[in-house]
Every structure is written in structure tokens, then in C-alpha cells.
Amino acid sequence: MVLAQKKEKDSVIDKPSRPAFESATLIDNPTNVLFNKNTLEVMMQHRFGEINGGTNDLAGFWGASNIRMALAYSLHDRLAIGFGTTKEGRLQDFNWKVGLLKQTRSDKIPLNISYYGNFTIDARPGNRFYTKQDRYSYFHQIILARRFSPNISFQIAPSISHYNTVDSFMENDRFAIAFGGRAKISTQTAILLDYTIPITKFDTDPDTGLEYNNDGVSLGIEFGTSAHTFQIFLTNYRGIVPQQNIMKTTNNFFDGDFLIGFNITRNYNF
């Protein structure tokens, strides 16, 4: 009887830990979160114009915006596939996320490990590309996340971005590493931090003098319920698809080149 009680207690302790994050996205980077099988996630991501983009611009609200609408569906508790369309560049991204390991309550498995990838097509019209393949870009990321307590979570996410065609001063591939954290300050409210460092360095654009080696810095607040999350933040990332941000950002957060953005997600269970 005692042995049976001990086994039952051990099995309860070793269940998967609660999710490290509430949303599948931490401002500008994916998280390890995968929703239950047959969950449909609907997402809208919006970036206003840069706050220092010009006079009479109302903190970027009247400036040019960037928007992404997306869907993701959980085929399994450990596999989700999705599609999104982004305004700038008319980017059409096909994406997927795979859960590899789940943190357990006993800490026998101390981390959540997931893989995220996408394949993106630049669908702008005209003769800007020589071949169809020149429109393609790719992104791959390993996400290592840990829930340290009910209030504190953190993740580290190395990645590689690839464009089939780039300007002469760039390389086709760029390695980067992202650090993200979430700290709850109430039952439904949390503070978010997302910081991405490009490891592969590019030369300065000889024609414009623009610098493409700036870190991605994002600070925000998240409000969540059982079915939806709302994130509002400051970021220097104007693009929304990860490789667009990592490869092509010229904004420097510490020089005041940032903007206001928000992410809204809503889940439907079938």
C-alpha cells in the first residue's frame, strides 16, 4: 500500500510543468509554447511608424505601419503549423513548431526545448528578382526555456536566418541569439523583455551608410486570459517575420529608433 502511494505521488510530481509563457510569441520571437491538439491560434501583429520618424507624426501613429495576420493550428500537443501574411514586402510565411522536451515538475527535465522554423516568400510584383528562388528566405531557431517559478520565466534561442539573395555587403546567412524573459506582476499581467544579438556581422551599406548590425531590443507588458493575450511594447524591430528583423534592421534602439507595437492572439479549441 505504501509503495503504491509512493508511485502515485512520484507520477504526479513528474508531470510536465505549467507553460513557461502564456503566448506562442514573446514580442518579436517565438516561445516554446505549443497549445493542446486541435487548438487554432489567430494572431494580429501591428507595428506603428518610428516615434522619431518625423514631425507632426503623433509618436508614429500617423506614420507608415506594418501588419501581419496569421493562423496556427496544433496538429498534436507537440506540433503546430501555421501561415501568415505581412504587409511590408508582401511576405507569405509558412511556419512550424515542434516540441522536443518538456520541463517536468520534479526538474528531472529542467528545460523546455522546441524547434521553430519558417519558409517565407517575398510576393512583391515586378522585376526586382531575377528568379523565383530569389524571393525565398528561411528561419530556424532552437528555443530553450525554463519556468523558474509561477512568476518568472526565461528563454535562450539561437537561430540562423537565410536569404537566397542579398546585397553585396551582406552574407546569405546570419547567426543570432535571442534572450527573453517574462515576470508576472499580477494574475493576468506580466512584464516582457526580448533581446536579440546578431552574431554574424555585415559591412556598412556603402551607398547609404546604414548599419545592419544593431541588436533587437523590445520591452513590453502582456495582459492575458485563458483564451487570449495582448502584448503592447516598444521595439526597434519594424519587421515582423524573424529573418526580416534579424537580417535587415537598421534601427538602433539606443539612438531612439524605436516604435510602438502590439500583438493580439486568440485561441479556439475544437
Q: Give the pLDDT confidence score for residue 6 in this predicted structure.
A: 52
DSSP code for 77: T
Cα–Cα distance measured from residue 164 to residue 173, given in angstroms and rounded to the nearest whole number = 9
In the block, cell 508582401 appears at 90
Contact between 119 and 138 under an 8 Å Cβ cutoff? The reply is yes
Domain map of the chain by residue range?
Answer: 12-269
4: pLDDT confidence band, cut at 50, 70 and 90?
low
CA distances for 95 relative to 37, 66, 73, 137, angstroms: 17, 19, 10, 12
Query: How big is the chain, counted in residues?
Result: 270
pLDDT reading at 89 higher than 70: yes
C-alpha angle 167/168/173, rounded to 5°?
70
Work out the pLDDT band at 64, boundaries 50, 70, 90: confident
3-state SS, residue 259: strand
pLDDT digits (tens, 9 = 90+) for 187-216: 999 999 999 999 999 999 999 999 999 999
Q: Tell which phi-psi region holds residue 150, choosing left (phi > 0), alpha (psi between -120 and 50) or beta.
A: alpha
Check: CB of residue 178 under 8 Å from CB of residue 192. no
The proportion of the chain whose per-residue pLDDT surpasses 90, expressed as a percent, equals 83
pLDDT digits (tens, 9 = 90+) for 114-129: 999 999 999 999 888 8
Identify residue 146 by its one-letter amino acid code: R
Q: Is 196 left (phi over 0), alpha (psi -120 to 50) or beta?
A: beta
How far is Cα 119 from Cα 139, in angstroms, rounded to an integer? Answer: 7
Mean pLDDT of 60-79: 91
Number of Cβ atoms within 10 Å of the Cβ of 6: 10
C-alpha separations of 223 from 84, 106, 120, 180 in Å = 23, 29, 29, 17
Question: What's the pLDDT score for residue 179?
Answer: 98
Query: Looking at domain 12-269, does it have CATH number 2.40.160.40?
Result: yes
127 Cβ contact list (under 8 Å, min separation 6) = none
The reported pLDDT for the residue numbered 126 is 82
Tell me, letter by letter, the H, E, C secondary structure of 129-182: CCCHHHHEEEEEEEEEEEECCCCEEEEEEEEEEEECCCCCCCCCEEEEEEEEEE
Among 236, 226, 227, 233, smallest CA distance to 257 is for 236
